[in-house]
Amino acid sequence: MCEQLNVSTSGYYDWRDRPISERAQYDAVLVEQIVDMHHGHEANYGAIRVHPYLKKLSFSCSRRRVNRLMKAHGIRSKYHAHRLRRSSNSNAPVAKNLLAEQPKAVQSGQYWAGDMTYLKTREGDFYLAAILDLWSRKVVGWVFSRNHDADLVTGALNMSLAFEPRQPGCLFHSDQGSEYRSDSYRDRISEMGLVSSMSRAGTPTDNAYVESFFKTLRNELLYHWTFSTLVECVARIMDYIEFYNETRLHSGLNYMSPNEYQLSHSKCP
């Protein structure tokens, strides 16, 4: 074998008997932590989020090292891209984009934003409406329905109002969908002292945080499952929302979960 590899016999035995380097041993420890974290988050995280997770556990390493180890051991995050196209033909009034004129949120309950998306199962399609707090990025309200109507978005709003505190004059932002422009929804917004704000037509980036949540939901859950029933789909999404609020590391929150971010700042004087 040494002749085939063109190395000396003494060199081979020296290499064979050489102890594992400290760096290689530390790499093995990091890989073990990466695998545990990756499985715990359903293989959704890449090196960008794995790195701050390891730093939180006091493991000294660079993102480049994490990326190298993940590639070497075939540890990859799941990812998929998709956009839902949806149109609205309602002639109801459109609110001004007040959110664009406001400073960045500094506390929970200051700005909320909502949107809806469709879901597919073998029993048929249905819809999810969700509302996020734009300070903590927490999902504060959600409702499922077979119907794409004002009751769907009003249900999500009612859940948010029932379980989440809000600031006086809390601004609620949405797109220009007919559901958000309906009389019943606008009446509910006004009744609860919320201020309506809407994105510009055809500009989903005006509601970027909610769009980002739905994209994350699809990339990390929906694209990896085929749901047999509506009940199964709802159960999986509710579990994911709990994971998203309680555990998922958010790059915009200094790699904390929404609940962790909210709790850590509530302790500040």
Distance in angstroms (rounded) separating the CA atoms of residues 149 and 203? 21
Please provide the distance, in angstroms rounded to a whole number, between the alpha carbons at the two ends of the chain: 70
Is 127:119 a contact under the CB 8 Å cutoff?
Answer: yes
pLDDT at residue 54 tops 70: yes
- Where do the structural domains in the chain lie, given as residue ranges? 2-72, 99-266
By percentage, how much of the chain surpasses pLDDT 70? Answer: 84
pLDDT at residue 221 tops 70: yes
Superfamily of domain 99-266: Ribonuclease H-like superfamily/Ribonuclease H (3.30.420.10)
Place of tokens 């998709």: 82
- Looking at residue 16, the DSSP 8-state letter turns out to be H
Contacts of 33 (CB under 8 A, 6+ apart): 54, 57, 59
* Higher pLDDT pick, 24 / 113: 113
Distance in angstroms (rounded) separating the CA atoms of residues 155 and 199? 21
* Higher pLDDT pick, 152 / 8: 152
Is 148:127 a contact under the CB 8 Å cutoff?
Answer: yes
Is 119:238 a contact under the CB 8 Å cutoff?
Answer: no
* Most confident range, picked from 11-25, 26-40, 203-217: 203-217
Is 135:105 a contact under the CB 8 Å cutoff?
Answer: yes
pLDDT at residue 165 tops 60: yes
pLDDT at residue 2 tops 80: no
pLDDT at residue 103 tops 80: yes
Whole-model pTM? Answer: 0.69
Is 196:186 a contact under the CB 8 Å cutoff?
Answer: yes
Alpha-carbon torsion, ordered 175, 231, 139, 199, to 10 deg: 0
Place of tokens 């859950």: 221
Least confident of 75-89, 121-135, 213-227: 75-89
